[in-house]
Structure 1
Amino acid sequence: MIEELQHRIEQLRAQMRPLEPDGGAREALGHGALSHALAYLDQVPDAPSNRPWGEVFAHRLDPEFPEEGRDPAAVLDYIATCVDRPGFATTSPRFMAYIPGGGLFHSALGDLLAAVSNKYSGFASASPGAVRLENATTAWLAGVIGYPEGAAGTLTSGGSLANLTAIVAARDARDSDGGGAVYTTRFAHHCVDKALHIAGRGRAPRRQIATDARYRMSVEALEEALERDRAEGIRPWLVVASAGTIDSGAVDPLADIAHLCRRHGVWLHVDGAYGGLFALCPEGRETLTGIELADSVALDPHKTLFLPYGTGAVLVRNGRHLLESFSASADYIRPLGESEVGPSPADLSPELTRHFRALRLWLPLQMAGVAAFRAAQAEKLSLARYFHARLQEMDGFDAGPPPDLSVVAFRFRPQSGDPDAFNERLLRHLVEEGRVMLSGTRIDGRFTLRCAILSFRTHLEHVDDALEALARGVARVQERA
């Protein structure tokens, strides 16, 4: 019996050998993957910002998942042709649709190192070094937005989980029995609705607060709604303000809203997934005055710090609220001893098993330095103002309100015909041309174009490319009319 088991185990060990490549094989695989990555980056400056989706089927693997491993070079070729090329190129300097980040190379190296060591970053006792780095990076983020000592935070997969985490903390702190009212504008990100639903507050009384001419929350309208609810016996619970809306990049008057919330005992959450981290540069900090007064803030370093997708963060001004909402334990995961590296991320977050995300943020800050990030952010804000100013000089364009941050919402005004249909055709032309990628939205029912300048690779010449592409596009759409 024992001998048969030993023989079977040896057979299985031989069959699984491809999972444990030796030093020479690892070196060859590593060189191949690095060469692939470098070749991809080499073509980024001139490659289209969008390619036809059908290219995903340029080659087909048969079978899709083989019993025996394929030649690594062939696999990398498939990735280059069918994964890297088709669809949006968010790494392109001319990708100005949605909210691009660009994906820092330093962060890719951080992900490689984190995946190789596979450190379990949930508990300090399991990986004190990884936990120390996460606590250090979240403390640094808290300092960027001006939070005091005693704040706490955790890294998440993105803004959706960050907003959910904050709303759960707000629920437990101020609305444990339910019934509290929620106040947002019509520009609140849809992930807020999803978070309220998941947190069991999807049917909470909702108040849509009016905005001003620049699409920012009206403090007067908010005050009226709060006072009306109190007079009618409805308890105000949560105000969700924006530090950079998706549609137009508008920043609500955070300081005035914060003072109003404190007077009424309301939890203020700021969705700063797009714009909150512009507080790192002086120009952005001035626009975001008051963010430091919020009870909680959602951030996306994979946007405003240019990291790869999958890097969000939530910060709570009084860190005790995160611990009270998410700290839990079980016999099999009790700490092995006390640690001096700070709280375990698993006690501040809904996640137990978690990727060692901190390294993809910590490493570029170490290797490039904070000043480079600050300069990059200031450049993007200046580029947005430049784009807006140039649009004002171009015949037929309504440049929209001046940008608070780095998103410009604008329209072309044709001399005849349906403006919405014209702008939709203009956007479709840009997408099909593939040189510059912009996006569109609807604001108060009107189809509006968006230019979101946030890739660290986007510079003055690329914004000029976008302006030229718009001029070409208008001429082409007019020809076809």
Structure 2
Amino acid sequence: MSLALEWAASHTTVATDPKTTARSAADLQAEVGETITEGGIGAVRAMELFDEVLLPATRSSEDPMNLAYIPAAPTRAAVAFDTAVSAANVFGGIWENGAGAIFAENQVLRWLADLLGWPADSAGVFVAGGTSGNLSALATARDHALRTRGRRPDRGWALACASTAHSSVSSAARLLDMDVVTVPVDDQGHLTGGALEHELAADERICAVVVSGGTTNAGIVDDIASVVETAHRHGAWVHVDGAYGGAALAAPSVRERFAGIERADSFIVDPHKWLFAPYDCCALLYRDPRPAAAAHSQHAAYLDAIDRGESNPADLAAHLSRRTRGLPLWYSLATHGTAAYTAAIERCLSSCRTVARAIEEAEHLELLAAPELSVVVFRRPGWTPADYRRWSQRLAKDGTLLCVPTAFRGEVALRLAFVNPSTDPQAVIEVLRTTMLEADGS
């Protein structure tokens, strides 16, 4: 036990690097061998293997030069407190077991609800990730539609979203036996109420609309206000997937992009993406939590004694057992204050704009879209898909920069996601200048 605690304490502030160090299972098996044995291998050997072999075979998510996918940059306070949460071992499903911890989580959820402009009786819960949050919110929407409309459509339920919606939306639809109606986006990639109008008028099956509060691929925020107005006029639930971009609600410089979100029905944001919390953590909120409670509350003989008058997280999502995963974010917010969070998010936005300007001014690079939040999408004219892959892999193996190819408007491109306030934009610009001047990615 002491070995594990000492390791955790020493690594709370350890430096990271952006190398890609994944190894094959066969390679790891050869070096690690069998660790689950009848007699055990002992704490010293287990920790040695973890520290010297297993952990080095993972990729750092929090390094300032990790700009691939949507990385994570948890505060040291949040990382340290995650150990405390594990040690406390609180059951966070019902108030009776986890009252104090749930109370603290609810203060964070209230802060988020205030950023949304939602009423005092709105409520939410922390779940594992955006996929879980989207699934629970859409299950609520489907159940609410059945209760309000009184019947299931002959051809079943459907949800509407843009083609740029996160993959978890279509995954949730499959699990919920809902069809997906894809709505065309405008020239800038936004889902709008005007485009949605035709689909809603023509298809009674659509009971929910998913709008993006910052697409993962390009950081695009849909036209939330017009979507909400159109969807509500047709009796459809509006869910905002802000898994990545929802954190920008705390940034005054881009807050206007989220106009209309105060009238949405549900919302998610992943604090492990851009609110500086460790994995895993998704905040799921409902403007009116009653439909969620109707959809998700579990009832059984041994659950009859639960006080339904208090906040029971198990009532608001597809789960019962849960750890109080919102506490590391609570501790970090309580420690640093919300103003520090606003400043950190604004710093990421500023870094993104600085790099985007440099790309736009570079003769050998092409900016594909002006960034709306903190994602830059660009290309190197003349490069083939193989060139992009070769360049990306070389920098990853050298530990210089993590940036992976993507697809944008039908062509191969590169994207940089700025969610770490420690990222130096000038260092990123220098890497792009010195490594992409060649005619190919060699």
TM-score by length of structure 2 reads 0.91
Alpha-carbon offset, residue 149 of structure 1? 1.9
* Matched position secondary structure for 2:31: coil
Deviation per residue, 1:214-250 (Å, 9 max, x gap): 21114332223333x06xxx34422111011111110
Match of 2:432 in 1: 470
Counterpart pick for 2:343 among 375, 383, 389? 375
Alpha-carbon offset, residue 153 of structure 1? 1.0
Which one has a bigger Cα radius of gyration?
1
Match of 1:217 in 2: 191
How many angstroms apart in 2 are the aligned matches of 1:143 and 1:479?
47
How many angstroms apart in 2 are the aligned matches of 1:64 and 1:180?
48
Deviation per residue, 1:375-434 (Å, 9 max, x gap): 1001111111111101011112111111110011111112xxx64444344333333333
Counterpart pick for 2:368 among 381, 397, 400? 400
How many angstroms apart in 2 are the aligned matches of 1:432 and 1:337?
54
Deviation per residue, 1:115-137 (Å, 9 max, x gap): 22212111111222122223322
* Matched position secondary structure for 2:412: strand
Counterpart pick for 1:316 among 270, 274, 286? 286
Equivalent residues in 2 for 1:183-198, closer than 5 Å = 183-198=160-175
* Matched position secondary structure for 2:105: helix
Equivalent residues in 2 for 1:261-276, closer than 5 Å = 261-276=231-246
Q: Is the 8 A contact 1:380 1:406 kept in 2?
A: yes
Match of 1:243 in 2: 213
Asked if residue 30 in structure 1 is aligned to residue 5 in structure 2, the reply is yes
Q: Is the 8 A contact 2:348 2:418 kept in 1?
A: yes
Alpha-carbon offset, residue 31 of structure 1? 2.8
Q: Is the 8 A contact 2:200 2:231 kept in 1?
A: no
* Matched position secondary structure for 1:60: helix
Asked if residue 147 in structure 1 is aligned to residue 118 in structure 2, the reply is yes
Moved more, 272-281 or 159-168: 272-281
Read off the aligned partner of 1:408 and give its amino acid letter. Answer: V
Alpha-carbon offset, residue 106 of structure 1? 1.7
How many angstroms apart in 2 are the aligned matches of 1:89 and 1:479?
24
The 3 A distance-change label for structure 1 pair 81 and 127 is same
Moved more, 280-289 or 302-311: 280-289
* Matched position secondary structure for 2:254: helix
Count how many residue pairs are aligned between Structure 1 and Structure 2. 435
How many angstroms apart in 2 are the aligned matches of 1:29 and 1:302?
23
Alpha-carbon offset, residue 148 of structure 1? 1.4
* Matched position secondary structure for 1:282: coil
Equivalent residues in 2 for 1:165-184, closer than 5 Å = 165-175=136-146, 177-178=152-153, 179-184=156-161
The 3 A distance-change label for structure 1 pair 390 and 112 is same
Q: Is the 8 A contact 1:306 1:456 kept in 2?
A: no
Match of 1:22 in 2: none
Deviation per residue, 1:302-360 (Å, 9 max, x gap): 11202112100211111111111111222223336676xx3211111211111121211
How many angstroms apart in 2 are the aligned matches of 1:331 and 1:305?
39
Alpha-carbon offset, residue 32 of structure 1? 4.2
Counterpart pick for 1:77 among 31, 40, 48? 48
Match of 1:444 in 2: 409
Unmatched 5+ residue regions in structure 2? none
Match of 1:335 in 2: 305
The 3 A distance-change label for structure 1 pair 361 and 445 is same
How many angstroms apart in 1 are the aligned matches of 2:252 and 2:109?
20
Alpha-carbon offset, residue 33 of structure 1? 3.7
Equivalent residues in 2 for 1:29-428, closer than 5 Å = 29-35=4-10, 37-38=11-12, 41-44=13-16, 47-51=17-21, 53=23, 57=28, 60-70=31-41, 72-175=43-146, 177-178=152-153, 179-201=156-178, 204=179, 206-227=180-201, 229=202, 234-335=204-305, 342-414=310-382, 419-428=384-393
* Matched position secondary structure for 2:95: coil
Unmatched 5+ residue regions in structure 1? 1-25
Deviation per residue, 1:62-85 (Å, 9 max, x gap): 432244454544433322222332
Deviation per residue, 1:132-174 (Å, 9 max, x gap): 2233222222122221122121110000000000000000111
Q: Is the 8 A contact 1:436 1:465 kept in 2?
A: no
Identity %: 29
Match of 1:453 in 2: 418
Deviation per residue, 1:263-282 (Å, 9 max, x gap): 22221111111111210121
How many angstroms apart in 1 are the aligned matches of 2:29 and 2:65?
25
Read off the aligned partner of 1:311 and give its amino acid letter. Answer: C
How many angstroms apart in 1 are the aligned matches of 2:165 and 2:136?
16
Alpha-carbon offset, residue 475 of structure 1? 3.5
Read off the aligned partner of 1:252 and give its amino acid letter. Answer: D
Q: Is the 8 A contact 1:145 1:280 kept in 2?
A: no
The 3 A distance-change label for structure 1 pair 166 and 337 is closer
Moved more, 161-170 or 265-274: 265-274
Moved more, 268-277 or 68-77: 68-77
Read off the aligned partner of 2:96 and give its amino acid letter. Answer: S
How many angstroms apart in 2 are the aligned matches of 1:48 and 1:268?
38
How many angstroms apart in 2 are the aligned matches of 1:52 and 1:167?
35
* Matched position secondary structure for 2:181: strand
How many angstroms apart in 2 are the aligned matches of 1:182 and 1:63?
47
How many angstroms apart in 1 are the aligned matches of 2:245 and 2:441?
38
How many angstroms apart in 1 are the aligned matches of 2:388 and 2:2?
52
Q: Is the 8 A contact 1:284 1:405 kept in 2?
A: yes
The 3 A distance-change label for structure 1 pair 476 and 364 is same
How many angstroms apart in 2 are the aligned matches of 1:111 and 1:125?
22
